[in-house]
Chains A and B, each alone.
Chain A
Amino acid sequence: MGTVALRMLFGDPGKYLGLVFGIAFATLLMAQQAGLFIGIIGRTVSQIVDVREADMWVMDPRVKYSDVNEPMTDTQLYRVRSVEGVAWALPFLRNMGTVRSPDGILEQILLIGVDDATLAGVPPKFVLGDLDALRAPDAIAIDKSGFMRLWPDAPLDLGREVEINDRRVRVAAIVDASAPFATSPVIFARYSLALNLAAQRRSQLSYVIARAAAGHDAAEVAARIAAETGLQATTSAGFARMTVLYFLRNTGIPINFGITIALGFIVGAAIVGQTFFLFVVENLKQFGALKAIGVGNLAILRMVLLQAGVAAVTGYSLGIGMAAAFFHFVPRANDALRGLVLPWEVAAGVAAAVLAIIAVASFASVRRVLVVDPAIVFRG
């Protein structure tokens, strides 16, 4: 009877397309919004993720997320170094600043200062130049999309000069950094240079980045650092989690995306539920005839679920395909959206949501079919 069920479904193209587009619409909306949400929340931890060398972050106990920092002293850095299980601990400066290009373009930037000797904390992927180029006086590295912001029409090249907080520096390397939350250019410099550039307070040690020695567990070492120094210390993953939670709790981002996602679900469920209900109700007489002829309730149930399932799979494939196309093409065309992807978890989650929609949609309809009295077939 499966073939018959499918023929019934495809035999009513208006409703079939209504179902497919309803589901596709809901899928697209939910997947696109959820993907953006996860991508944007993910950006709040870009500067944590980009520091590949470290597995621990140490900071003032008042810091709640990676966008704020409370200066620490060099003494505190030394105390971290002396904790058992710490392989190394290095200063990490994070500051906002203003950059001015000779053409007069003014931009807010994120200034990162890394240890002069090791340069640990610079993203590993260089588009132009290399790590050692940062050792030259007044040399900085800029992230690729920041370069394109400052020199929109120029090819990527090295040697250009800019002023940061009114001090002249030279672009010595271009790196591929993860997109920051506020899509400003990211500039990397030696710690000593960055201190000069920031030039506001004497000490600008924002964080200490550190690594656990071989054979030591980062979480345990972090706990020891916290106990011995009175500072806040956490693993990189823990710091990322802290930051994400802060944004989830303290910004309108989850609510805004949540509303759109819920809307996609509700509107999708309403459209699909109504269309499917109409489809089934209009076919009640046919189902009644089939029941009279000797098709049992179980077989009828399977027919209805097959119809719903095929509409769901078709609609979901269409919708997730469109969402995938969005995440494939749009971030490439629009630099502000770079790095955004459609995580498989979102695709799976939306599939579950579509399943819920179709379950809701079939529930009422299935009841109508199951209780339909085959005797109606003899009534006019």
Chain B
Amino acid sequence: MTLAVRCRNVVKSFDSEAGPLRVLHGVDIDVPWGEMTMLVGPSGCGKTTLLSIVSGILSFDSGAVEVDGHDVARMSDSARVAFRRANLGFIFQQYNLLPALTAAENAAVPLVAAGIDLETAAKKAMPLLERLGMGEHARKLPRQLSGGQQQRVAIARALVHEPKLVVCDEPTAALDATGGRNAMELLRAASVRADRATIVVTHDHRIFDFADRIVRMEDGRIAAVEDKAPEIVP
């Protein structure tokens, strides 16, 4: 079976006033199916950059990136958009919910992007919202929800279309300790399964126990990969 994500010698620079700033210096990483992989490391080491490249929303200078065996760099722009729509789920630190849509409608956005009408899509998202304990809040707008509740809506949105790869950047950074653990428990329970890979970028050592593997980055390189049985399995 192919790997969920396979990166080889990925190099990425950004333009800055002082000339090009190299952020990734040849990253190799394998992400297997069926696991939650955490990408950790000091601020500025390139975690978000790597995650953006893996999810096909940022281009890179050289190297190879395969997601589910597909070469992301060689896709046309529109093919890459369609690939993301079908295969990726996103969870952002700032949730990025649409303020004018209800919880259920927000959770349904990937289905709407795939062509289902908003009302039908929102109904389809309901079972997942209920599993995440958000059934009774489904008709509320984001501003009527707490941070933890908003992140649960975001989790639902990341999973509603059953993507193969779920990518999360600092999903607990805006939550307190208990909120963060709750969100991770829900994410792990809902996301991790044999045919899916979940990548979580985080600073938050309090949630390291939820990982199957921890990949440590330092200064644009992979420093260590630690395979471990997660200490907390819900």
Interface string of B80-106 (1 = CB under 8 A from A): 011111101010111010111100010
Chain B residue numbers with a CB within 8 Å of A290 are: 109, 113
Chain B residue numbers with a CB within 8 Å of A1 are: 112-113
Interface residues on A, range: 20 to 34
Interface string of A281-305 (1 = CB under 8 A from B): 0000110111111111101000000
Q: Is the CB of A295 within 8 A of B101?
A: no
* CA gap between A299 and B115 in the complex, in Å: 11
B47-55, B64-72, B175-183 - interface stretch? B47-55
Chain B residue numbers with a CB within 8 Å of A11 are: 98-101
A55-63, A353-361, A370-378 - interface stretch? A370-378
User: Is B117 at the interface (CB under 8 A from chain A)?
Assistant: yes
* CA gap between A378 and B92 in the complex, in Å: 6
Q: Is the CB of B110 within 8 A of A10?
A: no
* CA gap between A335 and B82 in the complex, in Å: 65
User: Is A7 at the interface (CB under 8 A from chain B)?
Assistant: yes
Chain B residue numbers with a CB within 8 Å of A289 are: 90, 92, 96, 98
User: Is A3 at the interface (CB under 8 A from chain B)?
Assistant: yes
A370 CB to nearest chain B CB (Å): 12
Select A294's contact among B58, B82, B118, beta carbons within 8 Å. B82
Interface string of A181-217 (1 = CB under 8 A from B): 0000000000000000000000000000000000000
* CA gap between A289 and B152 in the complex, in Å: 17
Select A377's contact among B78, B88, B90, B112, beta carbons within 8 Å. B90
* CA gap between A198 and B48 in the complex, in Å: 94
Q: Is the CB of A4 within 8 A of B118?
A: yes
* CA gap between A288 and B51 in the complex, in Å: 16
User: Is A367 at the interface (CB under 8 A from chain B)?
Assistant: no
Q: Is the CB of B110 within 8 A of A379?
A: no
User: Is A242 at the interface (CB under 8 A from chain B)?
Assistant: no
User: Is A8 at the interface (CB under 8 A from chain B)?
Assistant: yes
User: Is A153 at the interface (CB under 8 A from chain B)?
Assistant: no
User: Is B169 at the interface (CB under 8 A from chain A)?
Assistant: yes
User: Is B57 at the interface (CB under 8 A from chain A)?
Assistant: yes
Q: Give the total of B residues in contact with A, Cβ under 8 Å.
A: 34
Q: Is the CB of B88 within 8 A of A294?
A: yes
Chain A residue numbers with a CB within 8 Å of B57 are: 291-292, 373-375, 377
Chain B residue numbers with a CB within 8 Å of A297 are: 81
Chain B residue numbers with a CB within 8 Å of A8 are: 98, 100
B233 CB to nearest chain A CB (Å): 28
* CA gap between A27 and B109 in the complex, in Å: 36
A19 CB to nearest chain B CB (Å): 15
Chain A residue numbers with a CB within 8 Å of B94 are: 285, 380
* CA gap between A240 and B86 in the complex, in Å: 67
* CA gap between A133 and B155 in the complex, in Å: 90
User: Is A103 at the interface (CB under 8 A from chain B)?
Assistant: no
* CA gap between A12 and B100 in the complex, in Å: 8
Given contacts A12-B100, A293-B109, contact A380 B93 (CB under 8 A): yes
Q: Is the CB of A296 within 8 A of B58?
A: no
Given contacts A292-B90, A293-B84, contact A378 B169 (CB under 8 A): yes
Chain B residue numbers with a CB within 8 Å of A293 are: 84-85, 88, 90, 109-110, 113, 157
Chain A residue numbers with a CB within 8 Å of B58 are: 373, 375
* CA gap between A67 and B35 in the complex, in Å: 92
Chain B residue numbers with a CB within 8 Å of A288 are: 96
Enumerate A8-34 residues with CB–CB distance to B below 8 Å.
Answer: 8, 10-12
Q: Is the CB of B100 within 8 A of A294?
A: no
* CA gap between A351 and B127 in the complex, in Å: 47
* CA gap between A286 and B48 in the complex, in Å: 19
A211 CB to nearest chain B CB (Å): 66
Chain A residue numbers with a CB within 8 Å of B114 are: 294
Chain B residue numbers with a CB within 8 Å of A291 are: 57, 81
* CA gap between A292 and B85 in the complex, in Å: 8
Select A286's contact among B55, B86, B90, B96, beta carbons within 8 Å. B96
Chain B residue numbers with a CB within 8 Å of A7 are: 98, 100-101, 105, 118
B155 CB to nearest chain A CB (Å): 14
Chain A residue numbers with a CB within 8 Å of B83 are: 294
A residues neighboring B (CB under 8 Å): 1, 3-4, 7-8, 10-12, 285-286, 288-297, 299, 373-375, 377-380
> Can you report 29 A-B residue pairs in the complex whose CB atoms are below 8 A from each other?
A3-B117, A3-B119, A4-B98, A4-B118, A7-B100, A7-B101, A7-B118, A8-B100, A10-B100, A285-B96, A286-B98, A289-B90, A289-B98, A290-B113, A293-B85, A293-B88, A293-B109, A293-B157, A294-B85, A294-B88, A294-B114, A295-B85, A295-B113, A297-B81, A373-B58, A374-B57, A375-B58, A377-B57, A378-B93
Additional pairs, 17, CB under 8 Å, beyond known A3-B117, A379-B48? A3-B112, A4-B105, A7-B98, A11-B99, A285-B94, A285-B96, A289-B90, A290-B113, A291-B81, A292-B55, A292-B84, A294-B88, A295-B81, A299-B113, A377-B57, A377-B96, A380-B93
10 smallest CB-CB distances across A and B, nearest first, come from A11-B100, A294-B85, A289-B96, A374-B57, A294-B84, A3-B118, A7-B100, A375-B58, A296-B81, A375-B52
